[in-house]
Amino acid sequence: QVQLVESGGGLVQAGGSLRLSCAASGRTFSSYAMGWFRQAPGKERAFVARISRSGGTTVYADSVKGRFTISRDNAKNTVYLQMNSLIPEDTAVYYCAADGAQYRESVTTVRSYDYWGQGTQVTVSS
């Protein structure tokens, strides 16, 4: 089992940047692919980005491609989401998640992840 704790959220003006962090407990962090999701008020939780166990492969939602970067440091048991050129539509609670499966038919659905953090609020003002 792994526990996840997000940090780094806050209020930022449009065009600004934020870096989210997600710290994982346990000694098996490198055995999990990691993802970021977000949930805006009144909307379903939506996929943002995913990174493979080694960090060599990343996947992004079209809405954030070119603006957000996911990365991980397995020595620090931490995954990051660098968010640049933020827009008001990026306002949401951001969640990190861990996927312990060896294979997933889909990596962009909520059901593809086994463990979740509590979320961190990101608010982008216009």
pLDDT at 109 over 90: yes
User: What is the predicted pLDDT for the residue at 26?
Assistant: 78
User: What is the predicted pLDDT for the residue at 24?
Assistant: 97
Which whole number is the average pLDDT over 8-19? 98
* CB 123, CB 91: distance < 8 Å: yes
With a CB cutoff of 8 Å and minimum separation 6, the contacts of 15 are 85, 86
* CB 95, CB 64: distance < 8 Å: no
Banded model confidence at residue 104, pLDDT cuts 50, 70, 90 = confident
pLDDT at 102 over 90: no
% residues pLDDT > 70 (the chain): 100
% residues pLDDT > 90 (the chain): 90
How would DSSP label each residue in the chain? ---EEEE--EEEETT--EEEEEEE-SS-GGGSEEEEEEE-TTS--EEEEEE-SSS--EEE-TTTTTTEEEEEETTTTEEEEEE-S--GGG-EEEEEEEE--S--S-SSSGGG-SEE---EEEEEE-
Which whole number is the average pLDDT over 100-125? 93
